[in-house]
Structure 1
Amino acid sequence: MLAALAARFGLSLLMSRLRMIVGRVPASLWIVLAVVLIGTAGVILHRREVAAHYKTAYEAGRTAERALWERRLADARDEGERWRSDYEAAAAKLTTQIGENHALETRLAAALADDLRVQGPGRAGVCPGPAAAAGGSRTADGPADAPLAPLPPEQPLAIVPWGDLVRYAEQADLARAEAVTWRTWYLANVEALRKARLDAPSPLFGNEK
């Protein structure tokens, strides 16, 4: 009970002292303090609004930047796929053409080989010796049913489709050059995209140039 009375008395004394101090402060000073408090609160609220707006704009800018680079990379991938498809189609066409040319040369070589083989009495086509080879082929003389002339000594000859080998080598060189050109172009574009992404500035407010 005594403690409660003492506390109440102390509180009353403190309040009276505060009223006395407040009463001594001029009204103009209270106005200045109020203006300062209101201004401080306004500055704090303004800074919060600016920070929130900056964060929103920054996130929007980053989102726009990511979308832009995703579109560019998608376009680069699509272009690379088109180049790859064209290259594969050209390579398949070239391979087919090389195969057809090789088959044709093989058939021609087989036909030439058949012409050099002995076909029977009266139709023998023999391989000429070194002396006759300079002047052309030598055919059998006499009637069709005449006996065959003796064959000359066998010469180590071979039929080689030289034109086909040269053509195949040229086409292979062209195919390799095209493949190297395409790969060089593809690697150059990938490197350019990587450098552009590293050098591009990050927008602060989503302003896409």
Structure 2
Amino acid sequence: MLTLLSILTGGGLIGSIVLLVLRPALRASLGGALAAIPARVWGALALIALVLALTWYHGHAVKAARAEGRRAGVSETNAAWDKAQAEWQRAAAQWTRNIERRDRSIADEERQKHDQAVRDNRARADALRLLGPGRSAAHCIRPEPAAGVPPAAGGPEGAPTGPDAPEPELPAGNGTPDRQWAIVPWGWLVDRAREHDDLRAENVGWRRWYLREQAAWDKARADGPAGPKPEFGDKSP
């Protein structure tokens, strides 16, 4: 037995195997030593081996379960991100359609206003050319002369018979409540300035609304799928 211990400690594993093969007496002594071990010791060794095997299997199973859990978590996170991005894309597409529809509506409205302004200016220019500056304003406000007042010279009904016939005067208040008149038709300048102020106020409102929407986008990207979803849509600024 001492020889066996010396071989195992000094000669190495290969030398021990060679000595066991070449020395039958050593094999016999080793077999006798193993046979002398009680059955309880063998049972304890078997139990220890079983515990070690179960421990290894449990560790391997836990490692595999954790890897599978990580893969499932990554797949679930990717699916949640894909769903959120699809919803954001649909909201952005709807928002774009609403903005385009609003732009077309504004363009149509501005085109109608422009066409009406062109028609009004053309009518005033015709009145100036036919009747003169002072008479054109009175003619536009009062298409028909008042009772006892003859029409202006050059009008459709001819010149007055008297040499000093009075001309129709402008009404009090410099025009109707919704229009102002002057010697030269410059009322379109006032209307254009008012339209400019209205459009600028609307533009400022839309700009503020756009900044709020951009802040909601940035917050949604920072919070991730677990954060609150931003609200989008055609909302007034």
Which residue does the alignment assign to 2:28? 16
Report % sequence identity. Answer: 19
- Does 2:77 align with 1:65? yes
Q: C-alpha root-mean-square deviation of aligned residues, in Å? A: 3.4
Secondary structure of the residue aligned to 1:16 is helix
- Is the contact between residue 102 and residue 164 of structure 1 (CA under 8 Å) also seen in structure 2? no
Q: Could you report, residue by residue, the CA deviation over 1:21-76 in whole angstroms, capped at 9, with x for unpaired residues?
A: 21232221111111000110011011111111121122111101110111011101
Ranges in structure 1 where 5+ consecutive residues have no aligned partner: 1-5, 120-124, 129-137, 147-155, 201-209
* Aligned residue number for residue 132 of structure 2: 126
Instruction: Give the Cα separation in 1 of the matches to 2:115 and 2:52.
Output: 93
TM normalised by structure 1 equals: 0.69
For residues 28 and 188 of structure 2, the distance between their equivalents in structure 1, rounded to whole angstroms, comes to 124
Give me the TM-score of the superposition, normalised by structure 2.
0.62
Structure 1's 10 and 40: CA in aligned 2 closer, same or farther, altered over 3 A? same
Give the C-alpha shift of residue 113 in structure 1. 1.6
1:126-168 Cα offsets, whole Å, 9 max, x none, are 234xxxxxxxxx9449x7398xxxxxxxxx9563512431343
Shift of 1:186: 3.4
- Indicate the residue corresponding to 2:224 in structure 1: 197
Is the alpha carbon distance of 1:7 and 1:73 closer, same or farther for their aligned partners in structure 2, counting shifts above 3 Å?
closer
Q: Secondary structure at the match of 2:133?
A: coil
1:188 aligns with 2:203: no
Once the two structures are superposed, the pairs formed by residues 1-209 of structure 1 within 5 Å of their partners are 10-117=22-129, 119=130, 125-128=131-134, 139-140=152-153, 144=159, 159=186, 161-177=188-204, 179-197=206-224
Shift of 1:175: 4.6
Distance in 1, matches of 2:188 and 2:60, equals 86
Counterpart of 1:19 in structure 2: which amino acid? G
Aligned to 1:161, the other structure's residue is in SS state helix
User: Residue type matched to 1:37 in 2?
Assistant: A
2: CA distance, partners of 1:46 / 1:75: 43
Gap regions ≥5 residues in structure 2: 1-17, 135-150, 162-182, 228-237
Runs of 4+ in 1 over 6 A off after TM superposition: 6-9
CA distance in 1, matches of 2:52, 2:20: 36
Which structure ranks higher in relative contact order (CA pairs < 8 Å, sequence separation ≥ 6)? 1
Q: What amino acid does structure 2 have at the position aligned with 1:159?
A: W
What SS class does the counterpart of residue 144 from structure 1 fall into? Answer: coil
CA contact (8 A) 2:117 2:188 kept: yes
